Chain A
Amino acid sequence: MTKVADNVNPHIYEKESEREITLEEHDENVVDEFDEREIFDLIRNINDPEHPLTLEELRVVEEKNISVDNKENVVHVNFTPTIPHCSMATLIGLSIRVQLLRALPSRFKVTVEVSEGTHVSEHAVNKQLADKERVAAALENNNLVQIINQCVAM
């Protein structure tokens, strides 16, 4: 039996244009810190687990819901499930977290949370995503890692 997606007909949004690279960014002598757009670029093309669409196209992730503090080494990402009872919320959050863990330097403390008020189990999902022991255990589960790798494959 094929599982029917939670949200069978999601709204699809326009993609952002590619980032414009400034002259300064080409200058090796200028310290180039991480900014929100860079984090966004790392996660915008993650595939939704249920649709052949990216998290950007579904507006699950948006640049305005990302914050970076290079001094404190903190990255915060809020994501917005397409519907409030989306059963894939934890998997989407885990995919974002895994992608950032793999791509960012280890000095960063990454927090991934559901945007406030956008999911029925917001608190439970956030608590689970914040528990690094559960995340570590999940990443030893080969089936789950395969699914995550399919999501983050670009």
Chain B
Amino acid sequence: MGKLELLQTLTGHKGIAWNVSWHPQGQVFASCGEDKMIKLWSKEGQEWTVKTVLVDGHQRTIREVAWSPCGNFLASASFDATTAIWDKKSGQFECNATLEGHENEVKSVAWSPSGQLLATCGRDKSVWVWEVAGEDEYECEAVLNAHNQDVKKVAWHPSLDILASASYDNTVKMYKEDSLDSDWSCIATLQSHESTVWSLAFDKTGERLATCSDDKTVKIWKEYKPDNQEGVIVSDRESVWKCVCTLSGYHTRCVYDITWCHKTGLIATACGDDIIRIFKEADDSDSNAPTFELVCTQLNAHSQDVNCVAWNPAGNEELLSCSDDGEIKIWKFSE
């Protein structure tokens, strides 16, 4: 059995802490929440402390923050219908671009692996793809209306320009750009969850996806490419995604977030029952019907719903979490 050791509890956000995001090098992270503030944290000696507070970027709750792969830009998605892009070209962090277009709440933002594309999604049921067009310039590449309810989360494939989105309509959709006419379109619909899909995370290969839902389950999906050796039928030469594993009976309330470490392969979940759970794939796991074992249950990880979990990208088994109680916690996992 594994264990989560609490390294530090960070207070500072008023109201709900919605999201935390590691800088790609894992030495800095950003947090945001109901108080419309973004805080940047780093280590001073052994202690994590606030280094910068970004205010006045948004008029309403900041739902999510995301670092660009190069680590020079930070994007923030807000209920005020805008997405702000922050950088410190001038020496200190400033908002140098604002992406407008969503009709109301923006709920998620994510940079593509190349850093050239950005995706946003929101209450207006749409997913937007933006292209970095120049210094502080972003152009809308596509508006994707594949979902029929609000879109909760967007995430990019770890190496390709393939985008996935999770929605209140209980489905996950994937999109890519057609190389011939450069039009973005939906290439797959992943249907199996019985309620809102809140979040999703690719594994390091991008050939598997983990999703979590209000139906209290986690599902693992596998990509079957054209001409796959398992004989799964695909149409139009597009991959098919199949649910190959459902983790049910573990979570007792809505699962709000999921993170899949690209270094260790561990999956962590954030749940409305105040618990953080960690799952590990079994050594003898069959790729067409994988087995994941619950290796850690951190009861009362927070005093209220856990909203977000994030593995340190450095692969040092550090985990960040934040909660409705306004707190951020840093944990260290060990087996």
Contacts and interface: CB of A to CB of B under 8 A. Distances in A.
Interface of A: 106-107, 109, 127, 130-134, 136-137, 140
Given A106-B303, A132-B305, A140 B60 contact: yes
What are the 8 closest A-B residue pairs judged by CB atoms, nearest first? Answer: A140-B60, A137-B105, A137-B79, A106-B304, A140-B79, A140-B61, A136-B61, A136-B16
Contact of A130 (B34, B214, B304): B214
Interface string B121-155: 00100000000000000000000000000101000
A131 B61 contact: no
Interface string B283-322: 0000000000000000000011100000000000000000
Contacts of A134: 123, 150
B208 interface: no
A133 B254 CA distance: 12
Contacts of B60: 137, 140
B34 A136 contact: yes
A137 B303 contact: no
B213 to A, nearest CB: 12
Given A133-B63, A136-B16, 19 more contacts: A106-B303, A106-B304, A107-B304, A109-B253, A109-B272, A109-B273, A127-B195, A127-B196, A130-B214, A131-B196, A132-B305, A133-B107, A134-B150, A136-B61, A137-B60, A137-B104, A137-B105, A140-B60, A140-B79
B168 interface: yes
B1 to A, nearest CB: 24
Nearest to B123: A137
A21 to B, nearest CB: 30
A142 B11 CA distance: 28
Contacts of A109: 253, 272-273
Nearest to B59: A140
B152 A133 contact: yes
A136 B152 CA distance: 14
A1 B258 CA distance: 49
Contacts of A133: 63, 107, 152
Contacts of B304: 106-107
Nearest to B272: A109
Contacts of A136: 16, 34, 61, 79
B78 to A, nearest CB: 10
Interface string B97-110: 00000001101000
Contacts of B63: 133
B61 A137 contact: yes
B168 A106 contact: no
A106 B326 CA distance: 12
A86 B305 CA distance: 31
Contacts of B61: 136-137, 140
Nearest to A111: B253
Contacts of B207: none
B325 interface: yes
Interface in B58-97: 60-61, 63, 79
29 contacts: A106-B304, A106-B324, A106-B325, A107-B303, A107-B304, A109-B253, A109-B272, A127-B168, A127-B195, A130-B214, A131-B214, A132-B305, A132-B324, A133-B63, A133-B107, A133-B152, A134-B123, A136-B16, A136-B34, A136-B61, A136-B79, A137-B60, A137-B61, A137-B79, A137-B104, A137-B123, A140-B60, A140-B61, A140-B79
A137 B195 CA distance: 20
A13 B60 CA distance: 42
Interface string B24-64: 00000000001000000000000000000000000011010
A100 B60 CA distance: 23
A140 B63 CA distance: 13
Contacts of A106: 303-304, 324-325
Contacts of B324: 106, 132
Nearest to A128: B168
Interface in B166-220: 168, 195-196, 214
A139 to B, nearest CB: 10
Contacts of B152: 133
A19 B275 CA distance: 37
A4 B57 CA distance: 42
A105 to B, nearest CB: 10
Contacts of B254: 130
